[in-house]
Structure 1
Amino acid sequence: MKQNFTQKQTHKQTLNLSLSMKKSLDILSAPQEKLYQQIKVIADKNPYISYTPSIDMDLYMNEALSHKVTLSEELYLQLHVCKEKYDKHIAEYIIESLDENGFFTLSISESSKHLNVSVPEFKNTLKVIQSFEPIGVAAKDSFDSIILQLQYQNLDDCVDIFQNYSEYLIKNDLKSIAKKKGYSIEEIQSYIEDIRLCNPFPCEQYITRKVENIIPDLIVNIEDNNLVLSTNELGNIILDESLNEENIKNKVLKTYFKEALFFIDSLSKRNKTLLLLANELFQIQKSYFLFHDELQTCTLAMIAKNTGFHESTVSRTLSNKYYSFQNEVFPIKNLFVSSTTSGDSKDSIVKAVHDFIKNEDPSNPLRDIDLVDKLNEIGLSASRRTIAKYRMQLRIPNSKDRIKK
């Protein structure tokens, strides 16, 4: 076969981050706790920078907001004294993969492939973890967690009713369950009471990870019916200006001087960018703070478009940042609200649904389709399925179960 070699020129745009650019981006994206550590390191080694913290930061950083034992610590402690046969590698994988509710939601088959173990091996170790306190840990979801708790108590009839008659349980149709099971209504009521004693979220007493003190990046105040934002300064950073780059002869000292200038300049740019982007975000959500209105639809793309920054810069600047308002600290990310397919704010719809149900006639509660009409009357749009989803997230039963005669 004859081979032909040809040359072809192509144009390709690439962006290579210099070391200084990377450092600048690190400062921009760093939360206050990490920024404090960076300032300390540079101030300790750089002769041209002096740093005076605004408070005793070391003491503040070392104070834990919570002394609760984490869920993983509790499980590792039980694993250490466990006499059942288990695979240590699998057990650690399961514990570290639990979500914020203590559930193991990953695929067992995919997890087995990832660890290069058989499915039966994985299930065996999972079963061991599920036997630990609190009973119901490492379940797939809250439904599965309740089943584990009932099985632990050897309540087989309760398991059967909960698993196979959930449709009747939702409708509170005890007669049909009693008829199918061949039990009396009183016996079924007793089983249901046992089911109700189970906790769908048994790990709520534990924190999922160690909580550290959070230093807010922004301070938000209300002055004359306006929001006033300011950066939360970590202290005074002073550059020794008795010298300048021209009269520093030593190369090492000149490098330190340039580093000091760069770091202080990057800190200034960080605060300016943070304030500019945050001001845009907080103006959009102004009514939420002033009048307790619902949050408006707001996305990273909207902030980027309104300020002229790239969306990645907005994300890097506002991610993992917090603000202080009325002596409480909140993540800035909570102010971003996606819209529904109709373009309405999810927060608006959820709040409206909650208010409608709160003020409904108890003897004739609103159906989901009625809530759709109610929303339309106030200029909001959502499908019946969306209403049902939000209602479940609010843990509000359906209209039949809300009837009070």
Structure 2
Amino acid sequence: MKQNLAIQQTLQQKYLLTQKNQNALEVLKMNHEEITKLVLQFAQRNPMFACRFHQEKGYEMMDTVHAPISLKEELYYQLHTCKTSIREDIAAYLIESLDENGYININEEEVAHAFQVTLQEVQDVFTILRTFEPSGVFAKDAADSLYLQCLHMGNTKGAYLLKHHADAILSHDLSSIAKQMNLTIEEIKDILHSIRKCHPYPCAPYQTQTTINITPEVDIIVEDEEIRIEPISVFTPSLHQEYVSMMEEHPQLKQYFQEASIFVDMLHRRNASLLMIINELVTLQKGYFLYHDELRPCTLKDIAQKLGMHESTVSRALHQKYYRFEGECYAFKQLFSAMTCQGDSADGIRKAILSIIRQEDKHKPFSDQQLVIKLSAMDLKVSRRTVAKYREQLHIPGSSQRKLR
């Protein structure tokens, strides 16, 4: 057989994430407190770097906020930065369907019908969501949550035991399990001991509150129905120009000068990128700031597409960042609102439910089904179950508990 050796040229485009770009992304993710710490550390080791701190303004702008750790906010961030292809509209609906323990009990066929997709497509979304942190979220119950955690930990025997012998575990029938798995009772006890390292309610920490001191990134001010965004500057970075003339005599200063120049440029780019993202987000939610309207449906993907950025960049930029509005501090991620499977804003539906209940006859309060009808008249299409979920999120009791005797 005659063989021919041929050389073929191909043009392939690759993006290499340089160390400089990696550093820029890390700086973009930092909040005021983290940036301040980094700046102080850099100033100590680089004589060319100068930084003037606005002490009085920094202290004035520091606020104490009670920030609830939200499971859903954490899941949305994982969703929008997920590297695996996923139907985000279905995923958002499933996230909104979680109960307070992070469990989900939903008919997958109904979801498939609502989104006009195949059952397999819904199951594919579920499969990805069940890999999210905290490990065990999107489980059907406590046993299923323990099963997911065992899989995540690589505890295959524990996962098998929970999947195939859950009833026997509850009845403490270890001899039956040992016989079926061809193991000794001591080996079964060892597996059960490994399972106890998992938590049946892994989402419990998200139901707590923590108090933190934060410095907001911007002030959002409304005057004459105009929105103004004012950056809150804690410090001003610069270079020691008086040392520039000494660089010829002291070559080491050149290296310091280059490093300081790159660092200052990185800080400026961080602020510019953040302001660009904030401006787009505030513009999209201007009705909320001007008239206290409900939040418009908005995701990280929406903002990223408008600015020509990657979703992960937007996610990093807004990570643990806050704005001040009407004297209160809020996390930027609170400006993102999910969309129901019918395309309505979840925030808008919650506000509508609250408004209807405030105006109801307290002697004849509306049932959840009556709320569904009232919402439908407002062109808000939701199920009774969804109404019940949103009502509980608003800490509003059922109709029987609201009725005045």
TM-based fold match above 0.5: yes
Q: For residues 144 and 252 of structure 2, what CA distance do their matches in structure 1 show?
A: 53
Asked if 1:52 corresponds to 2:15, the answer is no
Residue type of the alignment partner of 2:337: V
Q: Percent identity?
A: 34
SS at match of 1:342: coil
| Other-structure match for 1:296 | 296
Q: 1:386 to 1:65 in 2, by over 3 A?
A: closer
User: Which residue in 1 is equivalent to 2:146?
Assistant: 108
Query: How far apart, CA to CA, are the structure 1 residues paired with 2:285 and 2:63?
Result: 32
- Deviation (angstroms), 1:112: 5.9
Q: How does 1:1-400 map to 2 (within 5 A)?
A: 13-55=13-55, 107-109=145-147, 111=149, 114=153, 118=190, 120-121=192-193, 140=201, 211-242=211-242, 244=244, 248=248, 250-400=250-400
TM-align CA RMSD: 4.0
* Structure with the larger RCO, 1 or 2 (CA within 8 Å, 6+ apart): 2
Q: Would the aligned equivalents of 1:216 and 1:322 in 2 still touch at CA under 8 Å?
A: yes
Structure 2 spans left out of the alignment, 5+ residues = 67-133, 159-189
List gaps (5 residues or longer) in structure 1: 67-95, 127-137, 143-200
Which structure is larger by alpha-carbon Rg, 1 or 2? 1
Relative to structure 1, the CA distance from residue 248 to residue 334 in structure 2 (aligned partners, 3 Å threshold; closer, same or farther) is farther
Aligned residues: 298
What is the TM-score with the length of structure 1 in the denominator?
0.62
Does the CA contact (< 8 Å) of 2:136 and 2:149 recur in 1? no
In the TM superposition, residue 275 of structure 1 has moved relative to its aligned partner by 1.2
Task: Determine helix, strand or coil for the equivalent of 2:241.
Answer: coil
Provide the residue aligned with 1:78 in structure 2.
Answer: none
Structure 2-normalised TM-score? 0.62
Please report how far the alpha carbon of residue 247 of structure 1 lies from its aligned counterpart in structure 2 after TM superposition.
5.6
Query: How far apart, CA to CA, are the structure 2 residues paired with 1:203 and 1:313?
Result: 25
Distance in 2, Cα, partners of 1:9 & 1:385: 60
* Deviation at residue 367 of structure 1 after TM alignment: 2.5
Distance 2:296 2:369 in 1: 24
Tell me how far 1:98 sits from its aligned partner. 12
Tell me the residue number matched to 2:114.
none
3-state SS of paired residue (2:398)? coil
Structure 2 residue identity aligned to 1:300: L
Q: 1:107 to 1:58 in 2, by over 3 A?
A: same
Q: Contact conserved, 1:230 with 1:275, CA < 8 A, in 2?
A: no
Q: Distance between the aligned counterparts of 2:288 and 2:400, measured in 1? A: 33
Displacement of 1:343 after TM fit? 1.2
Structure 1 CA distance for aligned equivalents of residues 299 and 57 of structure 2: 34
1:196-249 deviations in whole A, cap 9, x for unaligned? xxxxx9998x75x6x442121122222232221122212232312345599646
Compared with structure 1, are the counterparts of its residues 233 and 357 closer, same or farther at alpha carbon in structure 2 (3 Å cutoff)?
Answer: same
Contact 2:136 2:148 in 1 (8 A): no
| 1:107 alignment partner, SS class | helix
User: Aligned partner of 2:350: which letter?
Assistant: V
Query: Can you list the C-alpha shifts for 1:21-49, whole angstroms capped at 9, x where unaligned?
Result: 11222222211111111111111111112
Whichever residue aligns with residue 342 of structure 1, its letter is Q
- Matching residue of 1:402: 402
C-alpha distance in 1, partners of 2:282/2:9?
Answer: 49
